[in-house]
Structure 1
Amino acid sequence: MLARAAAGVLVSLLAVSALAGCSGVARSAGPQTIAGGASTGIYYAYSSGLAKQMRDAGFDIVAEETGGSVDNLKRVGRGEALLGFAQADTAADAVAGEGAFDSPLPITAVARVYDEYVQLVVPANSKATRVSDLAGLRVSVGEANSGVMVIADRVLSAAGVSEKSYERREFGLHGSVAALEQGEIDAFFWVGGVPTPGIETLSKTTPLRMIPIGPETVERMDLGRSSVYRVSDLPLGAYGTTGNVETMMVPNYLVTSSKVPDELVYEATKLLFESSAQISHTVPAVALLDRRQAIFTSPVPLHPGAQEYYVESRNAS
């Protein structure tokens, strides 16, 4: 069994690691970070809530706004962030050194926290009803180094929409919301929990509709990718929409580096679960955290410190 370090000891360990760079967690002294995402997205809200709970427990840690999954994984892999949120498909690429990653990163999972919906947003009066209808339109595919861009490119390719056939824009969530509201784009992709705060706010002033992503497209995307994608329906009535909208889901992981000490990850995992009820008051997606499902992070391995927490929790129940 791992030694149960007190919060003060963990903070000391964190500071020593930061100064020496021995754990790969950081290269300079100062607060650690949780790599979130856009300030109007669920990643950042979740990161902020978790960081507050960790500070209350004695950690010197803050949430940081980032470009999304790819950016988060690179920060964790370089030791610039203690924890980060990432989509399962992008995390799998990081472990394998594929896609946006030139070489494998030392990424391990803390937990599968919730499943995210792929949201393809258009104005309610748009003539586009299928992914293939995006040809000739102005489409935001997410910002560089984001998991949104990874998925958007794969969806468009699987649906037969070539990059030359539409006007490509690369905005984050905030930029996409603003551009759609101002009529500067015709559609945008987002991947996140429902409701996503930025889109929910937009829906109150601009009637929206979601373009479905069918099972054929999802099956093409899943080929050779560890079956991380699956077909689902958006929650009924999301953003004021009517009727069922078929789309796809991808799991979302909280990750850390394999170089982070086991005791540190054990305590972070414990706090993740112990604080979930409190954080869910302001971030509803946190209520989806399930200890029984959290261990299923394949092909990303669980960190040994997280494994120890799950084993201990199972034995105590």
Structure 2
Amino acid sequence: MKRIRIPGLFFMLAAIMLVTACGKPAQSGESGQAGQSGQTGKTTEYLLATGGTGGTYYPLGGAIANVWNESIDGMNVTVQSTGASVENMRLLGNKETELAISINSIADDAFNGKDKFTAPIQNIRAIGVVYPEVVQIVTAKDSPIQSIKDLKGKRVSIGPAGSGTAVAAEQILGVFGMSPGDFQSFQDTFTDAADKLKDRNLDAAFAILSVPAANIADIATSKDVRILPIEGPELEELTKKHPFYTPYPIPASTYKGQEREVPTVTMQAVMYGREDLPEEVVYQLTKAMYEKQSEIAKGYAIGSQIDLQKALDGVTVPLHPGAEKFYKEKGMK
């Protein structure tokens, strides 16, 4: 057998490269739905769990991730579409994502093991409020549906399974003396629900979105819309049972056909992260999200609602130390 001689210099270089590679092993993270996450070399690979592609979480999460990736050295955040709040909390709990957006009430339930969560998920930490979540129950203006009680016997989408919308729909219907069994219930994403409303294959749909919501505005291009009010003694009962809800008036003319101000309720969409994320990394994420809000808004207009002065409103889950460090610098803690 012919033997091949390797020149001494080449052998030394190869050995040095091997030792260097072995001396800096990649720190693999947990496997998420959209791929591998964690820290690898000088690049920090994170997943951000959002919501359906037709909602607010997904495009807003994408705009935030783009700003993070552009402004933080070595940061690469990938956005994943999910069933939203309930699923996102479970993904954090299972270490299948590093970051997630959720309604504050759902995160509180997850942390304390209430309602949809049979056991506490206590590895979640708050980063800060992103924007107000507004409950909007949409029907066509020419529909006979004038109030929530008129949904009885109708075709209604209450939001995807595992979403904060579905939880809110159940809670709101409950104070009005109704349940999904009182009507033909669908669990569509709001993108699908909007298409069905336009085609008259659905009578009404629950949504928790920013105001104005692009999908509702899109429905209004083909037919005038009506937003059902949440008011009166039912509103009082709702806020007493579920104090995360606060009254919110949708201004008149927000949507085509909506001539009057509509009373409804809001909660807060909050950015959360895993407890085990490095303090300095979360500090940088928090700092960029609030100090580069105008750049986020260029990517998605709702980013304009990110407001440092409201960053801690309705936040009940403990803050991540990295976020807390930022707020202390700003004199907020």
Whether TM exceeds 0.5 here: the answer is: yes
Question: What secondary structure does 2:255 align onto?
Answer: helix
Task: Name the SS for the 1:190 alignment partner.
Answer: strand
**Alpha carbons 1:35, 1:72 under 8 Å: kept:** yes
Deviation at 1:311, TM superposition (A): 0.6
- The answer to whether 1:245 aligns with 2:262 is yes
Deviations 1:26-47 (A, max 9, x none): 5897942111111122111111
- Establish whether residue 16 from structure 1 lines up as the match of residue 16 from structure 2: no
1:34 counterpart SS class: strand
Q: CA deviation at 1:216?
A: 2.5
1:51 counterpart = 2:90: no
Could you tell me how far apart the structure 2 residues matched to 1:290 and 1:163 are?
A: 36
Contact 1:236 1:243 in 2 (8 A): yes
Q: Tell me the distance in 2 between the aligned counterparts of 1:228 and 1:102.
A: 20
1:54-203 alignment, distance < 5 Å:
54-56=68-70, 57=72, 58-105=74-121, 106-203=123-220
Give me the whole-angstrom Cα distance separating, in 1, the residues matched to 2:66 and 2:179.
Answer: 43
- How far apart are 1:217 and its partner, in Å? 2.3
Structure 1 or 2: more strand by fraction: 2
RMSD: 2.3
1:191 is displaced (CA, Å) by: 0.3
SS in 2 for 1:143: coil
Q: Secondary structure at the match of 1:309?
A: helix
Counterpart in 2 of 1:296?
313
- Alignment partner, residue 233 of structure 1: 249
* Counterpart residue type for residue 318 of structure 2: P
The correspondence for 1:32, drawn from 26, 42, 46, is 46
Alpha-carbon distance in 2 for matches of 1:281, 1:95: 33
Whether contact under 8 Å (1:46, 1:283) holds in the other structure is: yes
CA shift for structure 1 position 183:
1.3
C-alpha change, 1:123 and 1:19, in structure 2 (3 Å) is: closer
- Decide which moves more: 164-173 or 54-63: 54-63
Question: How many residues matched?
Answer: 298
| 1:269-295, Cα deviation, whole Å (9 max, x unpaired) | 011112210111242322222222212
Paired residue secondary structure (2:266): strand
* Alpha-carbon offset, residue 237 of structure 1: 1.4
Is the contact made by 2:30 and 2:95 (CA closer than 8 Å) also made in structure 1?
no
| Counterpart code for 1:66 | T
Separation (CA, whole Å) in 2 of partners of 1:16 and 1:41:
34
**Structure whose alpha-carbon radius of gyration is higher:** 2
Give the TM-score, by structure 2 length. Answer: 0.83
Q: Which amino acid is 1:71 matched to?
A: E
Aligned residues: percent identity?
A: 28
What amino acid maps onto 1:91 in structure 2? A
CA drift at 1:310: 0.7
Residue identity opposite 1:203 in structure 2: A
SS of match in other structure, 2:207:
strand
In structure 1, how many angstroms separate the alpha carbons of the residues matched to 2:76 and 2:235? Answer: 41
Question: 2: CA distance between counterparts of 1:289 and 1:28?
Answer: 27
Q: Which SS does the other structure have where 1:238 is aligned?
A: coil
Which is further off, 55-64 or 26-35? 26-35
C-alpha separation between the residues in 2 aligned to 1:251 and 1:212? Answer: 19
- 1:235 Cα deviation from its structure 2 partner: 2.9
Q: Which runs of 5+ in 2 are unaligned?
A: 1-23
CA distance in 1, matches of 2:98, 2:56: 19
Structure 1: gaps of 5 or more residues: 1-12
**Partner Cα distance (1:262, 1:31) in 2:** 16
C-alpha distance in 2, partners of 1:281/1:216? 41
Deviation at 1:60?
1.7
Higher RCO, Cα 8 Å, sep 6+: 1
- CA shift, 1:68, in A, is 1.2
